[in-house]
Amino acid sequence: MTSHISILGAGAFGAALAVALAVKAPVTLWGRNLGRDRQVARLPGVTLPDAVILTDRLDGATRASTILLAIPAQAIGAFLRDHADALDGRRLVSCAKGIDLSTGQSPARLIAAACPQAVPAVLTGPSFAADIAAGLPTALTLACADSEAGEELQHQLSTPTLRLYRSTDVAGAELGGALKNVVAIAAGAAIGAGLGDSARAAIVTRGFAEMTRLAAALGAQPDTLTGLSGLGDLILTATSEQSRNFRFGVALGRGQPFDPGVTVEGAATARAVAALAPRMQVDMPISTLIAGLAEGRIDVRHAMDRLLARPLKEE
């Protein structure tokens, strides 16, 4: 087994991680449509360095002891089932931020179910692929229930510009990263509809309260969501035009179409949460309304009217 890292998924985030990690050692990057010019379509101006080994052969990419899964959340379950034999027994680090719509499970739980001999971990937190690829300072959460494996991964995946903080609360780290996308869509919808920054601040604050409620009900440590993988990521994605979820929300607020080729994890996560919350008996009004917006069942003005009409309560 080779000692270098493999990254499965050559989209913007996978490619950016390959660029960052290649400063330490060779990295294998697997994707289905890799160009020979070593350019990344979704990272303009970025050229993959020679230390990034490109391959479209999965059998070669799965020989590494540490494999980063830079695959969209809604695709990771099927990918794991299809390739479980090749992946089992490895340290599998999910880079996805979402909840599987068909099962209601997080990526780490999907890893554990498909690959019982693997060590699941999660890499998440406030980051844009372009910043990572450019070598700009970025801090992320590395969550792994196995503390010894987590410490090894922390050292293996940290670079001079990519600083990882370790946690054993995998559920909290994953839920923070997934649920903040839903709130970012809501924040974008408020701005797109012209409701102003005060409305956005209220949505972000109450949205964070929703995130914490659901995470606690699902067994996460609420304090985890006050860190990089929850509050930190929420601040970034609810305020920046670089955020796909925020831009999607802006488009919803303006009643404009959004590029169908851009993955918006928060839309599917909102639908998963809308189904999950009643079963957990957790009140998630913002997430439920975003699910309705994403499916076209309601418009932004109707959604905001419903939020403002809710009974008055203590904070």
The residues carrying an active-site annotation are 180
Sign, CA dihedral 203-204-209-214, equals: positive
Q: What is the per-residue DSSP string for 6-42?
A: EEE--SHHHHHHHHHHTTTS-EEEE-SS--TT-B-TT
Contact 19, 138 (CB under 8 A): no
Residue 155 CA to residue 56 CA, distance in Å, equals 28
In the structure encoding, which two tokens stand for residue 289, read together?
A: 């309304």
**φ and ψ at residue 123, rounded to 5 degrees:** -115, 115
- Identify the three-state secondary structure at position 142: strand
In the structure encoding, which two tokens stand for residue 74, read together?
A: 């809604």
A 10 A CB-CB count for 219 gives 10
Residue 233 CA to residue 101 CA, distance in Å, equals 21
Residue 209 CA to residue 235 CA, distance in Å, equals 14
In the structure encoding, which two tokens stand for residue 235, read together?
A: 């601040």
CA 233, chain centre distance (Å): 9
**Burial class (CB within 10 angstroms; exposed 0-12, middle 13-18, buried 19+) of 222:** middle
First-residue to last-residue Cα distance in the chain = 54
